[in-house]
Structure 1
């Protein structure tokens, strides 16, 4: 009835690296690296799937994912992953978390 009163806050969560790591330890989540393939090849979080948010097929590739599965999204600094998280929640993904600070703030070693 009063839709205009609803908060315009994002429907995804921004998580600190510690909270993001905690979420990744829970079963059933998908870790999504939204950087370019060359950045991904240079080092990424273990177990991550790479789908470039700036790629022309981002929406098509993410549409194939389970919308009920928790998604943990990250990039280099947190900016592109926030954009991706907005797109994912708009597309109907129910549980999306963004890594604040991206891999720049990630305390653990990246894998290749």
Structure 2
């Protein structure tokens, strides 16, 4: 797992053709706005989160965010623990995100 600043995360994501964006917030939070292309997987729903995580392609690079960076850090560690090597946490989460969002 790597904690990336907003700038590092967005620059790396932009150049990565093997990327998947994961939003690990709740349904209500996701509906308030999200980063374009994000797949939502609520980490608070632990069993479902793990089940869906096991279906992810371990060859892809996962760019993970939440509200402020805490849950996404946990999600990255969980992804690492099930064999997904490349999980990148967005430090500061969507609260500090200056890029595009969909509301």
State the TM-score, normalizing by the size of structure 2: 0.94
Structure 1: stretches of 5+ with no match in the other structure: 1-11
Cα distance in structure 2, aligned partners of 1:29 and 1:109: 17
Residue from 21, 27, 35 that aligns with 1:37: 27
Task: Provide structure 2 residue ranges, at least 5 long, that are not aligned to the other structure.
Answer: none
Aligned residues: 101
Offset at 1:28?
A: 1.4
Where does structure 1 differ by over 6 angstroms across 4 or more consecutive aligned residues? none
Could you say which structure has the larger radius of gyration? 1
Q: Which has the higher contact order (CA 8 A, sep 6+)?
A: 2
> 2: CA distance between counterparts of 1:32 and 1:96?
10
Structure 1 residue 108: deviation in Å? 2.1
Shift of 1:110: 1.7
More helix by share: 2
Q: Once the 2 structures are TM-superposed, how far is the Cα of residue 109 of structure 1 from its aligned partner?
A: 3.7
For 2:68, what is the secondary structure of its paired residue? coil
